[in-house]
Chains A and B, each alone.
Chain A
Amino acid sequence: MILVPLMRVVQITVLILGCMAALAAQGRGRGQGASPASVRPTPATAPQGFSREQIDSGRTRFAAQCGFCHGRDAAGGEGGTDLTRSALVGTDVGGDKIRPLLRSGRPDKGMPAFTLADADVTAIVAFIHDQREQAANATGNRRTVDAGDLQTGNADAGRRYFDTACARCHSATGDLKGVAARYEGLPLLQRMLYPGSGGRGAGPAPKPPAVRVTQRDGQVVTGTLAYRDEFTISITDPNGWRRSWPTSQVTYTVDDRLQAHVEQLGKYTDGDMHDVLAYLQTLR
């Protein structure tokens, strides 16, 4: 077996501190943290009432503009979510949520803004809703991951692994108490592996890390991480204001607790992964 350890980037001032509250801190209630792929579609809040012509027109428009990422059937493609199980689509009425999203895009997640004629947008909305209704009634032959698929681990073995690898930051009776009641199936697995993954909807992002910036005049400013790259460090201060500095002008530390999850990714066997999931599922 060729196992290449994840080549770690050396950050000058990154500190790994304290215990991790990330898994536990977010998402009360199932819907919030649910991945589209493992949650059965909920009934739409209102009948959509599109014509067959609009749906058919939407099928071709959708395939051309959206199909690569979201799949021609809207059930997920390369990198994009399964829209038939999307919470946003589930609460959309006649395009009131989808339409503005198409106009603005989601640049942070790689979705461009679209400049399409109104009729084309309406047709795309019609098609997405139609696919959603069909998916709700379909069985088999779908790109789904059900919670039942993931039950191959051993909870006792998982507890032992947890005690060795995770207990430095986490506690079954503390931050993770009741975690299995908040998440299940794929979303729980995704959050277990890396709470910030989110790419295809693994719940809300973890709380941003704490940052401590020391200015040249010696003054120290603290807050939570808003943005960081090679040239800029930006925080949200305790009053909610954004503050930014060129990285060349200050020194700073980031309490990047998630780095331990990154290191663990290179250590898990698939058996370990399923065992720990099985153990977490006992924490109700």
Chain B
Amino acid sequence: MTCWRTCRRFADAYVGAAFRRPVQGGLKTALYILLAAPAAAQSVDPSALLKPPADSWLTYHGDYSGRHHSPLRQITPDNVGQLGLAWVFQTGQTQQIKATPIVANGVIYLTTPDNIWAVDARNGRQLWRYSYPMNDGFHIGHRGAAVYKDSVFLTTPDAHLIALDARDGTVKWNVVIADAKKGYWSTNAPLLIRNHLIVGVSGDFDNLPGILRSFDPDTGKAQWTFYSTPPPDTPGAVSGGATGGQMWMTGTYDPDLNLLFVGTGNPTPVLNGEVRPGDNRWTCSIVALNPDTGTLAWGFQASPHDTHDWDAAEVPVLVDAEFGGAQRKLLLQASRNGYYFVLDRTTGKNLLTTPFAAANWASSVDEAGRPQPNPAKEPSRDGRLVAPDEAGGTNYRSPSFDPATGLLLVSAHDAYGIYFFKKEHGKYGWAGADYGVYGHGVLRALDYKTGQPRWSHDLHGGAGAAGVLTTASGVTFTGDSANSAIALRTSDGSTLWHSGIGRVGNSPITYELDGRQYVLLGGGTSLFAFALPQAR
């Protein structure tokens, strides 16, 4: 049953792309499917991302919507208590797993800085490993890979993009995304949209323009570059002298609107706002881009004139649902600045702005729905007590939207920090000093219409390091801030299962192979797969 369902999904994807002409009659369709399925199973067709098969996790968010939600139902609130270890993959590295695993064709692609492993999704055995040569880029973390046809893509600490043969890890090509010598690096999991591979970079410690680039996934040829802040001396620039706004997180995509949604990072210099007056567009923003050209359709600024390192890089979650009495195309973001935003993603118009975590930095919300920074909470010589702290009201790990309950589950962080800036700190890079004072992590289940928590689950520590996964059966998977992977009942947040695998540092995913549903979580430097018990 499962096999048939899976094969059919692959075939649908394949047929959708390759057989555009009308097909006549059921028999012929069936024949195409039988012929097409085996061929399709060896190669990831970009159109599969529009309807991802249940045996895969084909892209960073699982699908284009960023909901981090699975339709799988084998593991339920009633049986999740029996969940047991299926296998463990040990990286043998010291780097914590922060990446979301990508699963295609029964193979898991897992990354850390400079490393990618191909692992058998049925048993956790390593198939191959590729290690990028020693380099001088920042080795802070890695978000994940991308797959397309028979290629898998890896970004590197020195801001290169590499295409590898998905079968054996040999390098097909290697191109420069941005100049690492200037201070760019990349942790990005690229996003594939048709024949565009969209890749972001980081660069917080230098005053650098914010760039997002698109490459041809077949050849590595550059297609376009979008600037969130302009290169120096750009006429008509709207950034007010700010650089930064790096797009280091994977975006989401609406195929009907043909719009790509990406969150942009903080401005630079980071804590010194004096030298960059005004709103500093398009830093700390959600931007909607045409993926074919990289042109801006609209932008919404979550933190105008940020001086606290609060990227708006968190996942822009796409939901089609009722809001204000009408069915709408919505974009939800729980942002690092502690505010929850609902936008109409067709136009970028703000529908709701409300805090979801401790926040004391805004004096008001303007008519465009943007919190207005209180000048008295900008970093100062004598220090300002600010909520949230630098780590933010949440951070980049994936939230999850559960359609059945209308809940956006967010790893929230109620936190205070003290922020300092004086002239002596200069106007380059960080340009200030800040110190965390206290923070506490809580998983909050926000009603998407109001942003108010329907329930909260204590994570027993500081900021959570785990993303959130919900499944159609009503189970939520995440990690607490202590030592455990946990499963909760999505409707009320009660604990159903836990396993002390070490601190979960990535976003959980799930897939079903051979009729068995697996849930994957990174615990420390190992990847753990859980499933229900088998007969033997």
Nearest-Cβ distance from residue A11 to partner chain B, whole angstroms: 8
A46 within 8 A of B: no
A68 touches B383 (CB 8 A): no
Nearest-Cβ distance from residue A106 to partner chain B, whole angstroms: 12
> Which residues in B have their C-beta under 8 angstroms from that of A262?
438, 440
A197 touches B438 (CB 8 A): yes
Docked complex Cα distance between A229 and B309 (Å): 30
> Which residues in A have their C-beta under 8 angstroms from that of B414?
6-7
A7 touches B358 (CB 8 A): yes
Best-surrounded residue of B363, B383, B387, B456 (most CB of chain A within 10 A)? B383
Nearest-Cβ distance from residue B174 to partner chain A, whole angstroms: 18
B416 within 8 A of A: yes
> Which residues in A have their C-beta under 8 angstroms from that of B140?
68-69
Best-surrounded residue of B138, B371, B437, B483 (most CB of chain A within 10 A)? B437
Given known A140-B424, A141-B425, A229-B484, contact A270–B437 (CB-CB < 8 A): no
Nearest-Cβ distance from residue B360 to partner chain A, whole angstroms: 5
Nearest-Cβ distance from residue B169 to partner chain A, whole angstroms: 21
B482 touches A230 (CB 8 A): yes
A72 within 8 A of B: yes
> Which residues in A have their C-beta under 8 angstroms from that of B435?
35, 37, 186, 190, 197, 199-200, 202
Q: State which of B32-40, B67-75, B91-99, B100-108 sits at the interface with chain A.
A: B91-99
> Which residues in A have their C-beta under 8 angstroms from that of B358?
4-7, 266
Of all chain A residues, the one with the shortest Cβ separation from B486 is A230
Of all chain A residues, the one with the shortest Cβ separation from B416 is A265
> Which residues in B have their C-beta under 8 angstroms from that of A67?
138, 205
Q: State which of B117-125, B295-303, B374-382 sits at the interface with chain A.
A: B374-382
A2 touches B458 (CB 8 A): no
How many residues from A make CB contacts under 8 Å with B?
A: 63
Of all chain A residues, the one with the shortest Cβ separation from B381 is A149
A204 within 8 A of B: no
Docked complex Cα distance between A113 and B365 (Å): 44
The interface residues of chain B, by DSSP majority, are classed as loop
Of all chain A residues, the one with the shortest Cβ separation from B422 is A149
B359 touches A2 (CB 8 A): yes
Nearest-Cβ distance from residue B502 to partner chain A, whole angstroms: 9
> Which residues in A have their C-beta under 8 angstroms from that of B255?
none
A230 touches B498 (CB 8 A): yes
Of all chain A residues, the one with the shortest Cβ separation from B430 is A143
Given known A189-B418, A274-B382, contact A64–B438 (CB-CB < 8 A): no
B138 touches A64 (CB 8 A): yes
Nearest-Cβ distance from residue A115 to partner chain B, whole angstroms: 5
Assign chain B's interface to a size class.
35 or more
A105 touches B94 (CB 8 A): yes
Docked complex Cα distance between A71 and B484 (Å): 31
A90 within 8 A of B: no
A150 within 8 A of B: yes
B456 touches A7 (CB 8 A): yes
A144 within 8 A of B: yes
B383 touches A143 (CB 8 A): no
B346 within 8 A of A: no
CB within 8 A of B94: which of A114, A141, A189?
A: A114
Docked complex Cα distance between A268 and B262 (Å): 36
A31 within 8 A of B: no
CB within 8 A of B484: which of A64, A149, A230?
A: A230
Nearest-Cβ distance from residue B435 to partner chain A, whole angstroms: 5
> Which residues in A have their C-beta under 8 angstroms from that of B486?
230
A113 touches B360 (CB 8 A): no
A131-149 at interface with B (beta carbon < 8 Å): 140-145, 149
Given known A68-B140, A199-B436, contact A270–B376 (CB-CB < 8 A): yes
Nearest-Cβ distance from residue B249 to partner chain A, whole angstroms: 16
A2 touches B437 (CB 8 A): no
Nearest-Cβ distance from residue B434 to partner chain A, whole angstroms: 9
Nearest-Cβ distance from residue A181 to partner chain B, whole angstroms: 22
> Which residues in A have their C-beta under 8 angstroms from that of B531?
none
Cβ contacts B402-443/A at 8 Å (1 or 0 each):
000000000000101010101011100010110111101010
Docked complex Cα distance between A232 and B362 (Å): 39
> Which residues in B have their C-beta under 8 angstroms from that of A68?
138-140
CB within 8 A of B482: which of A145, A149, A186, A229?
A: A229
> Which residues in A have their C-beta under 8 angstroms from that of B473?
none
Given known A2-B362, A197-B437, A200-B435, contact A149–B382 (CB-CB < 8 A): yes
Nearest-Cβ distance from residue A86 to partner chain B, whole angstroms: 15
A24 within 8 A of B: no
A196 within 8 A of B: yes
B418 touches A115 (CB 8 A): no
Of all chain A residues, the one with the shortest Cβ separation from B432 is A143
A196 touches B138 (CB 8 A): no
> Which residues in B have their C-beta under 8 angstroms from that of A142?
424-425
Given known A71-B205, A105-B94, A152-B382, contact A190–B458 (CB-CB < 8 A): no
B416 touches A193 (CB 8 A): yes
Docked complex Cα distance between A186 and B383 (Å): 9
B306 within 8 A of A: no
> Which residues in B have their C-beta under 8 angstroms from that of A77?
205, 430
B500 within 8 A of A: yes
Q: Give 13 CB contacts A-B under 8 Å.
A: A2-B364, A4-B359, A7-B453, A64-B157, A68-B138, A68-B140, A78-B204, A78-B309, A149-B422, A190-B435, A193-B418, A197-B435, A232-B483
Add 20 more A-B contacts to A193-B416, A194-B437, A230-B498 (CB < 8 A): A2-B359, A2-B363, A2-B364, A4-B355, A4-B359, A7-B358, A7-B414, A7-B442, A37-B433, A63-B136, A78-B390, A150-B382, A190-B435, A197-B436, A200-B435, A265-B385, A265-B387, A265-B416, A268-B385, A270-B385
